[in-house]
Amino acid sequence: MVFDKELFVSAPGKVILHGEHAVVHGKMALAVGLNLRTFLRVKTRKDGKISINLPNIGTKQCWEVSQLHSLLPAFQDDLKQARPSSKHLETLRNFVEFPKENKETESLALLAFLYLYVSICGRDMPSMDVVVWSQLPTGAGLGSSAAYCVCLAASLLTICGIIEDPLQHNTKISSWTLTEQELINQWAFQGEKIIHGNPSGVDNAVGTWGGALQYQSEIITQMDRVPMLQILLTNTQVPRSTKVLVAGVKDKLLKFPDIIGPVLSSIHAISQECQRILKDMTSGLSADHYPILEELIDINQNHLNVIGVGHPSLDKICQVTASHGLHSKLTGAGGGGCAVTLLRPDTDPNIVETVKQELISCGFQCWETSIGALGVSIHLPSSLPADIRSEFGI
């Protein structure tokens, strides 16, 4: 049982360099942690209530823990057997009674929370307040859903005592053991299944481990030496749903297996080639690798258009950046959302500034960043960034 406890947990967003969508069909993806994070604060309370506050999507809910106990029979057979079934989802939807005009954004976030809360806590449901606040744009291809699920899984497993609070004995440790991270990742994957329908698991793996990784069929390989690539991220601000886009690619693949299948195989080969180049770059081979990286970006962007996940706003980013000699592709599920542009070490900062201004004048939002970020972390309140502290009112 949990007594007075307060935890602060965070997880990074991600950028997929290559392999989005193909990875859902067993191909390889290369993905990296992003220095924009989701933060969660959980604080136990004593009045038998459980509240969740999600300011990014304007959602607040509060229930009696005793009400949530009524969900247990539907979960009883499958408790601790991680996989959301249609029976679970139906039970949770009936429990929350979403009004007709309810936004999908809100229902998916609450369903994922309730699913993880009931499945992980079982009979020992703690009374608590949960607040989640993110630096990531929601639904823009930067893995906001995975960062949300990783934070929920890590905090619920810790508050229920299933994994240890890393700060309990040593305030310098900022994450869990490898075995505990594996458990966090598995539960976050289940949360992603509620939000995405059929996720590959790459996003939650980056949210858990950060860094740079290669992902294929649930096998995660950390790339231990990756060059410090500088990138420009542009958010078209065109909303889209990963769930809908992933389902669209599946339909196309079923309809035209001999046409779409080879495109996915080619995307796989692009990921392999990119990985080889990144390795060469870290082993100090002097060749100019950037032209190849740029060509791979262009080919993949065309492939992503072929499989139906492009958008005129993404084409616009490619045109604007190409007119200044830079190369871009969509990242994440596409259909709007974000694009990634590769910056060379010798790219003139004035050019980057001009490109940014042009993109901003199209109504887009830009961030210049480098790849790689820490995975799921636990924080002392004093070590949280100032803007996060003020979001949490501390």
Ligand X SMILES: Nc1ncnc2c1ncn2[C@@H]1O[C@H](COP(=O)(O)OP(=O)(O)OP(=O)(O)O)[C@@H](O)[C@H]1O
**Catalytic site residues?**
145, 203
Of 77-85, 132-140, 302-310, 355-363, which segment contacts ligand X by CB under 6 A?
132-140
Contact indicator for 19, 29 with CB cutoff of 8 Å: yes
Q: Assess 137 for contact with ligand MEV (CB under 6 A).
A: no
Q: Is 20 in the site for ligand MEV (CB under 6 A)?
A: yes
- CB within 8 Å of 62: residues ≥ 6 apart: 49, 50, 51, 52
108 belongs to the binding site for ligand X (CB under 6 A): yes
Residue 145 sits in the site that holds Mg ion (CB under 5 A):
yes
Determine the Cα–Cα distance for residues 142 and 44; give it in Å rounded to an integer: 30
The residue whose two tokens read 């996989």 is 83
Residue 104 CB coordination number (10 Å): 13
Question: If you search the block for the tokens 């790849």, which residue do you land on?
Answer: 371
Interaction between residue 206 and ligand MEV (CB under 6 A):
no
Out of 155, 185, 242, 275, point to the residue binding ligand X (CB under 6 A).
Answer: 242
Number of residues that bind Mg ion (CB under 5 A): 2
Determine if 202 is a binding residue for ligand MEV (CB under 6 A).
yes
Closest distance of CB 146 from Mg ion, Å? 6
- Return d(Cα 94, Cα 91) in angstroms, integer: 5
Which of residues 7, 15, 17, 21 is near ligand MEV by CB under 6 A? Answer: 21
Out of 71, 149, 203, 206, the residue judged to bind ligand MEV by CB under 6 A: 203
Q: Does 134 bind ligand X (CB under 6 A)?
A: yes
Interacting residues with Mg ion between 232 and 251 (CB under 5 A) = 242
Judged by beta carbon, residue 190 or residue 200, the one nearer ligand MEV is 200
Among 109, 212, 260, 307, the residue binding ligand X under the rule CB under 6 A is 109
Q: Pick from 66, 78, 17: which is nearest to 328 by CA?
A: 17
Of the candidates 180, 203, 294, 391, which one interacts with ligand X according to CB under 6 A? Answer: 203
Residue with tokens 């966090």: 184
Of residues 242 and 313, the one with the C-beta less far from Mg ion: 242
Asked if 142 touches ligand X (CB under 6 A), the answer is yes
State both tokens at 127. 């009374």
With binding defined as CB under 6 A, does residue 339 bind ligand X? no
341 binds, among ligand MEV, ligand X, Mg ion, none (CB under 5 to 8 A by kind): none
202 interacts with, out of ligand X, ligand MEV, Mg ion, none, CB within 5 to 8 A per kind: ligand MEV
Interface region with ligand MEV, contact rule CB under 6 A, candidates 48-56, 100-108, 195-203, 361-369: 195-203
Contacting ligand MEV within 236-255 (CB under 6 A): 242, 246
**In contact, 214 and 22? CB cutoff 8 Å:** no
- Residue 358 interaction partner, one of ligand MEV, Mg ion, ligand X, none, beta carbon < 5-8 Å per kind: none
Radius of gyration for the alpha carbons in the chain, expressed in angstroms and rounded:
21
Is 213 a residue that touches ligand X (CB under 6 A)? no
Q: How many residues bind ligand MEV (CB under 6 A)?
A: 15
With b for 16 or more beta-carbon neighbours within 10 A and e for fewer, the 64-85 pattern comes to ebeebeebeebbeeeeeebebe
The neighbour count for residue 194, using CB atoms within 10 Å, is 25
CB of 203 to ligand X, least distance (A): 5
Q: Annotate 58-122 with DSSP letters as a single string.
A: TEEEEEEHHHHHTTHHHHHTTTTS----HHHHHHHHHHHT--TT--HHHHHHHHHHHHHHHHHHT
Query: Where do runs of H (alpha helix) occur along the chain?
Result: 65-69, 72-76, 86-96, 104-121, 144-159, 178-196, 202-209, 242-255, 257-282, 290-306, 312-322, 349-361, 386-391
Report which of 113, 12, 7 is spatially closest to residue 60, judged by C-alpha positions.
113
Minimum CB distance to Mg ion, residue 291 (Å): 32
Residue numbers at the binding site for ligand X (CB under 6 A): 38, 54, 56-57, 105, 108-109, 132, 134, 138-146, 148, 195-196, 203, 241-242, 332-333, 337
Residue numbers at the binding site for Mg ion (CB under 5 A): 145, 242
Residue numbers at the binding site for ligand MEV (CB under 6 A): 16, 20-21, 23-24, 143, 196, 199-200, 202-203, 242, 246, 332-333
